[in-house]
Amino acid sequence: MDGDIVFYTHGDLIEINGTLLRAGELTVDMLNLTPDEYAVMADTFKRAQAAEDDRELDAIDVLLRQRKLFALLAQPQEEDFQHRLTRYERYLHDVRVFNITIQHFIQHLVSHLLKNDPGNYAAALHDFYTEPRFVQKYIVTPLTHGTDCYTTNDTYALSYVPREMADGRFAICEEHRTDSVQAVLKADYMHALNTGRNILRCKVCGNYFMLKGGAHALYCEGTSPYNSRFTCRQFGTHEVQKELARDIPKLRIKLTAFERITKDMRREVITREEARAAKDDVRDALYDALRRSELSLEAFEQTISSEAVYARCGITRKAKPRGRPKKDGTP
């Protein structure tokens, strides 16, 4: 271990190279690295490796430093080509395995929690690390991804040091020395979870965003990619969607599906919890459908029919009671 990365943690803060950040900010920024952006980095690395060209490594450095973490890392001095190549290979590996694994954790466990708090985040992570079905399907290991490996134990030197932080306050900080970007990102993410911050993926734009205080949110506050007049949160709300549905047929189909689910809940054919799960499934289907121009309206309508949604969610409708549905109580 070279220990060329040094960072400090204290409470819900992380400090790298004199810059103080809220825990979770580095993770959000890295998770928003797109597959296309990563592919450019990987291709550039292959060219550098094949040609033994320092200029290609310079290009990788420029690409990496567009992400917040790498922009903060100190540049090693007097490093030869082979050491530099090895370092970038390690960086690219750590970004790849961290993003894939944590994105699975957020999608399959965190986003389904009924209550957002540090205890539930910890319980979800425990299940993620120990349940064979999660380990085998969602954690990057050599069995599933060749030589790639997401590690649950990282090697680094840890010290407790009293120091003046970047904001001028004195604190006893945890000083971490490591050569693993995985270790930095996991420290950032786990500190965020421990202090009650949650990271989710916006159902509209697909970007990851951070929440505080146990809030449940499906949408971020960024500009909607489908209508710049609205934020993603506004675009995702029922009333705004009614307005936009005049011009977006798939939104009309989604709203109709919501109405069917609500009617079933009011008739007590399904429970409130089942209705919430069904609507989440429909939102996910809309999220995919808006990105697939080749998906016909008929195919999308069939995908979010009550029968299809309830089957995917494991919901069994009860015998339909007589009488008109109740007017109150929507999820």
Q: 160-174 pLDDT, tens per residue?
A: 999 998 888 999 999
Structure-token match 């959000």, residue found: 28
Considering only 114-123, 209-218, 262-271, 295-304, which range has the smallest mean pLDDT? 209-218
What local confidence, expressed as pLDDT, does residue 114 receive? Answer: 81
Angle at CA of residue 15, ends 12 and 20, nearest 5°? 80
Residue range 201-214: mean pLDDT, rounded: 88
Structure-token match 């989710």, residue found: 200
Residue range 109-114: mean pLDDT, rounded: 88
Residues 6+ apart with CB under 8 A from 31: 99, 102, 103, 106, 199, 208
pLDDT at 157 over 80: yes
CB-count burial class (<10 Å; 0-12, 13-18, 19+) for 46: exposed
pLDDT at 90 over 50: yes
pLDDT confidence band for 70 (50 / 70 / 90) = very high
23 Ramachandran zone, left/alpha/beta (phi>0; psi -120 to 50):
beta
What local confidence, expressed as pLDDT, does residue 1 receive? Answer: 45
Angle at CA of residue 60, ends 56 and 65, nearest 5°? 150
Q: CA 277, CA 288: separation in Å to the nearest integer?
A: 17
Q: Are 331 and 263 in contact (CB under 8 A)?
A: no
Residue range 138-159: mean pLDDT, rounded: 88
Q: CA 29, CA 231: separation in Å to the nearest integer?
A: 19
Amino acid letter, residue 231: T
191 Ramachandran zone, left/alpha/beta (phi>0; psi -120 to 50):
alpha
Q: CA 203, CA 107: separation in Å to the nearest integer?
A: 11
pLDDT at 330 over 80: no
pLDDT at 323 over 80: no
Residue range 39-47: mean pLDDT, rounded: 94
Q: CA 59, CA 57: separation in Å to the nearest integer?
A: 5
Residue range 196-207: mean pLDDT, rounded: 91
What local confidence, expressed as pLDDT, does residue 322 receive? Answer: 56
Q: Are 180 and 5 in contact (CB under 8 A)?
A: yes
Q: Compute φ and ψ for 196, nearest 5 degrees.
A: 90, 5
pLDDT at 53 over 70: yes
pLDDT confidence band for 320 (50 / 70 / 90) = low
